[in-house]
Structure 1
Amino acid sequence: MLALLTDRRFLPLFIAQFLGALNDNLFKNALAILVVFKLVPDPDAAQALAGLATALFVLPYFFASAFAGTLADRMPKAALTQWVRLIEIPALLLGLAGLVLGSIPLLFAALVGMGILSTFFSPVKFSLLPELLKPEDLARGNALFAATTFVAILIGTIMGTELVRLDNGPWIAGLTGLGIAVLAWLACRALPPTVAVRPDLKLRWNFLADTWRVCRGTLASPVLRRVVLGISWFWMLGAVLLAQLPGLVRNRIGADEQVVTFFLALFSIGIAVGAGVCGRMLRGQVKSGPVGIGALGMALATFDLWLALPAAPLSASLTPLPAFLAEAANWRLIGDFLLLAVAGGVYTVPLYTLLQSRAQPEARARAVATNNIVNAGMMGLGTAGTALLPSLGVTVPDLVALLGLGLAALAWPLAKTAGLYPKP
C-alpha cells in the first residue's frame, strides 16, 4: 500500500488532501482558542461563537455541494484542484489578518471561505482518485486517504491550539497556515493533466433545485443509496461522540482535558490502523465484506462503552491523565474506544471505494457531492439529537449505543453490496 506514495500521479493529490485537512483544523482551532480565551471574556458568548464557527464551516456543504460536484464533472479535475488550492491562499491571508488584528468578522469571513473551498475540494479529490489510479489500486488509495486524513486532523488540531497560545501566536499560526496553503497548491501543480468527463453539463444557480436533482440522480441507484447511508451513519455517530467527548470525560468519567486529548489521539490513530488493516484485507479488490465486520465491531464497542461508562464521577476532583491510565478499570473504556476507531477504519474504506467505483465516471463527482450533503444532514441530525433527547430521558451514552445498534442492523445489507472490480 505504501508503494503508492512513489506513484507520481497519486502523490501530489495525497499531499494536497493531507495538507488541506491539516490546515482546516489548524485554523478552526486557532480561531476557537483565540475567541474563547482572548477576544470574548463572557464564557457563554464565547461558547456560542465557537458553535457558530463550526456551523459556518459546515454550512457550505449543504448549499454548495451539488454545484461543486457538477463543476467537478464539467471541468478537468486536475485543473480545478489547482484552482481550489490557489484560492485558499488569499483566504488564509484574510485569516492571518483576522488572527493578528483579533477581528471576529475577518476570522469568520476566512472560515466561511475555507468551508466553501473544502466543499469544492471534496468531490473533486475523491472523483479524481479513480482517474489517477488503476482499478486494483483504488482501495489502497482510499485506505491511505482515510488513514492519513485523521492523523492530519489530529496534528492540525494540536497545532492550532498550541501555536496561537505562544508569544506572537496569532502571527505564527496565521503564517504557518499560509505556508501550508502554498505547499498544497504547489503539490497540485504536479498533478498530471486530466480531461473533462462531461463538458456539456449546465451549471444551475438555484441551489435548492440543483441539490434535489443531484441527490435524486445519485440515490436512484440502490447500491449507491446503501453506500451513502452507510457512510453518513458513521459520520453521524462520530459527530455525536466527538462533540460530546469533553462532557462525557468530565461528567461521567471525572477526568480532565488531558484525557480528552488522549481519546482524540486514540481515535485518530485507531482509524489510521483500521484503514491500513482494511487496505491489506481488500488486496486490490473492490468488495464490501469488511464493511459488515467493521459495522459489527463498532456496534460491539458502542454497546460495551454504554455498559462501562460510570453513572457519575467517583471523585469530586478531575483525574489527570497519568492517574487515569494507572486505574485498571479505565482500560476497558480505552479498549472500547480503540475498537470503535479501528472498526471505523475497516468500515469506511470499502464504502468510499464502492462509491467511486459504482458511480458512473461522468457522474462520479456528483455522487461524492450527494454523499457530502447527506453526511452533513445526518451529522446535524445527530447533533440535534444530543440537545433534544435528554428531555425524553435519553442520555448521550444511550444515543451512542442506539447509533451503534443501527450499524449492526446495517451490517448485513451493506456487506451484500457487490463490488465492481475483481482482484487482478
Structure 2
Amino acid sequence: MSTPFYLFRSKRFAPLFGTQFLGAFNDNLYKNTLAVLLTFQAAEWTSISSALLAPLIGAVFIAPFFLFSGLSGEIADRLDKARLARIVKVWEIIMMIVAVAGFATHSFSTLLLVVFGMGMHSTLFGPIKYSIIPQHMQQGELIGANALIESGTFGAILLGTIAGGALAAIPNGGVIASSGALMVAMVGYLFSRYIPSAPPPQRAEPFAFGFWKHTMDAITLAYRDRLVFLAILAISWFWLYGALLLSQFPSLVKDLLMGSEETVTLILALFTLGIGVGSALCERLSHHHVRYGIVVAGGIGMAVAGVDFALGIGTFEPSGPLSQNIHFWRIVVDVTLLGIFGGLFSVPLYALVQERSAPEARSRIIAANNILNALFMVLGAVATMAILSGGYNIAWLFGMVALGTALVGTIIYKVRREK
C-alpha cells in the first residue's frame, strides 16, 4: 500500500474512477467539438457572433451548477449514491443521442440544449463522486483516492479537449464526435453498474423542494465548520486559477509565443501531467493523512512558479524556432511546476472536506463546493475581461493570481493552527 494504484484493483474504487473519467472525457469532447466547429464555421450554424459563442457555451454549461447543485446534494444525501450514479449515466446517454441528432441536422438550439444537459450531468455527479469516496474508502485511503480522481479528471479534460479539436477538423466531425461520445457514455454506464451500494444515513427531517432553499442549506452547512468552508474557498480559488490558465493558453501560444496548435497541446499536456505528478507526490508525502503543511507548500510553490511564469511571458521575445528559444523552455518548466504544486495544493483540501463533513450532510457540503467553484470561475472570467480591458497585460494578471494562491494556503494553515 505504498502507492494508491492498488485501488485500481479494488471494486470499491475502480468502477467509480472509470465512471468519473469517462464522464469528464465526454463533457470536454462534446464542448470542444462544438466550440471549434462554431469558431470556424459559425455562419453555418447560427447568426450569433463567433466572439460571443465561446462565452455563451461556457455560461450555458455552468448554469446548472448554480441552479441545481443544492438540489443534487440534497438528493445524494437521501438516496443510494451508486443507484444515482447509474441514473446520471443514463441521462448522459440520452444527451449524446440528442447531440448526434443536433449535429446531423445542424440545429444550434439542440446542441446548446445538450450543453446545458451535460452541465446537469456534471452537477448531479459531483456530490455523488466526492461523497461516495469516504463511504467506500478507509480513512488512510482518502488522500490516495482523491489524488487518483484529481489526476484522472484533468487527464480526461486534456484528452477530451484534444479529441474534440481533432474531430471537429474533419468532415462530419460533429456527428463522429457525438457518436463516439455515445459509445463512451454506454461504457461509462457499464462501469457504474459495478459501483458498490452506498446507502445514505438516516435523516429525520422531511424533504422540501426549493432551488434557493437547497442552495442556501448547502452553503450554510459548509459554513458551520470554518476550516471546511475555507478549504472550499481554497479549492474554488484553485479552479479559478486552473480555468484562467486553460482558457488563456491558446491565445498565449498564438499571439505571444507565435506557436502552433501542437504547442498548445504540449503545454496543456505538461500542465495536466504536472497535476498528476503532484497528486501522486502528495499521497506519498502525506503518509495517508491530511497534512496542512502540504497545502501551504503547494500554495507557495504555485506562487513562485506562477510569478516566474508571469515574468517569463512578460519578457518573452520570439526569436527563431520555439524549440531553440531558452525563454520558451522556461515557460514550459513553469507550467509543469504549476501543475505539480497545484496537485499538492488541491488534493489535501478535498480530503479535508470529506474527512470533516458529517456523513449525513457530506453530499450537500460537496454541492456547496461545486456552487462556489462555479461562482469563482465566473468571477475569474469576468475579472479577466475587466482587467485586460483596463489596459493591464496577461502577465500582470497571472502574477497577481499566483501571489493570491500563496495567501490562500497560508490562511488555511493559520486557521488550522488556531484550532
- Please indicate the TM-score interval, normalised by the length of the shorter structure: over 0.9
Counterpart Cα distance in 2 of 1:225 and 1:410 = 12
The one of 34, 37, 41 aligned to 2:40: 37
Counterpart Cα distance in 2 of 1:405 and 1:331 = 22
Indicate the SS of the match to 1:197: coil
Residue 203 of structure 1 deviates from its aligned partner by 4.2
1:255-294 counterparts in 2 under 5 A?
255-294=259-298
Of residues 403-412 and 345-354 in structure 1, the stretch that sits farther from structure 2 once superposed is 403-412
Structure 1: stretches of 5+ with no match in the other structure: 420-424
The one of 17, 21, 31 aligned to 1:18: 21
Where has structure 1 moved over 6 Å in runs of 4 or more?
none
Instruction: Report if aligned partners of 2:221, 2:361 keep a CA contact under 8 Å in 1.
Output: no
Counterpart Cα distance in 2 of 1:351 and 1:158 = 29
The one of 51, 74, 77 aligned to 1:73: 77
The one of 116, 132, 135 aligned to 1:131: 135
Does 2:57 align with 1:59? no
Counterpart Cα distance in 2 of 1:214 and 1:204 = 14
Of residues 172-181 and 192-201 in structure 1, the stretch that sits farther from structure 2 once superposed is 192-201
Q: Which amino acid aligns with 1:379?
A: M
Q: What's the counterpart of residue 197 of structure 1?
A: 201
Does 2:89 align with 1:85? yes
Change in CA separation of 1:272 and 1:101 when aligned onto 2, cut-off 3 Å: same
Kindly provide the CA deviation profile for residues 98-140 of structure 1, in whole angstroms up to 9, marking residues without a partner as x: 1222211111111111101110100111000111111111110
The one of 335, 339, 342 aligned to 2:340: 342
Q: What's the counterpart of residue 333 of structure 1?
A: 331
1:24-423 counterparts in 2 under 5 A?
24-40=27-43, 45-310=49-314, 313-314=317-318, 323-416=321-414
The percent identity for this pair of structures is 37
Q: Which amino acid aligns with 1:218?
A: A
Change in CA separation of 1:311 and 1:240 when aligned onto 2, cut-off 3 Å: same
Of residues 67-76 and 36-45 in structure 1, the stretch that sits farther from structure 2 once superposed is 36-45
Instruction: Report if aligned partners of 2:34, 2:174 keep a CA contact under 8 Å in 1.
Output: no
Counterpart Cα distance in 1 of 2:305 and 2:284 = 22
Change in CA separation of 1:378 and 1:393 when aligned onto 2, cut-off 3 Å: same
Indicate the SS of the match to 1:227: helix
Residue 173 of structure 1 deviates from its aligned partner by 1.1
Counterpart Cα distance in 2 of 1:328 and 1:169 = 37
Residue 350 of structure 1 deviates from its aligned partner by 0.4
Backbone CA RMSD of aligned residues: 2.0
When the two structures are superposed, what TM-score results if normalisation uses the length of structure 1?
A: 0.92
Residue 199 of structure 1 deviates from its aligned partner by 4.9
Kindly provide the CA deviation profile for residues 71-108 of structure 1, in whole angstroms up to 9, marking residues without a partner as x: 10011111111111111111110011112222111111
Counterpart Cα distance in 2 of 1:396 and 1:22 = 29
The number of equivalent residue pairs is 413
Of residues 211-220 and 64-73 in structure 1, the stretch that sits farther from structure 2 once superposed is 211-220
Change in CA separation of 1:202 and 1:268 when aligned onto 2, cut-off 3 Å: farther
Residue 202 of structure 1 deviates from its aligned partner by 4.2
Kindly provide the CA deviation profile for residues 131-166 of structure 1, in whole angstroms up to 9, marking residues without a partner as x: 111111111000110111111111111111212333
Structure 2: stretches of 5+ with no match in the other structure: none
When the two structures are superposed, what TM-score results if normalisation uses the length of structure 2?
A: 0.93
Q: Which amino acid aligns with 2:31?
A: K
Residue 296 of structure 1 deviates from its aligned partner by 0.5
Residue 289 of structure 1 deviates from its aligned partner by 1.9
Counterpart Cα distance in 2 of 1:105 and 1:21 = 23
Counterpart Cα distance in 2 of 1:236 and 1:14 = 24
Counterpart Cα distance in 1 of 2:254 and 2:318 = 11
Residue 44 of structure 1 deviates from its aligned partner by 7.5
Q: What's the counterpart of residue 9 of structure 2?
A: 6
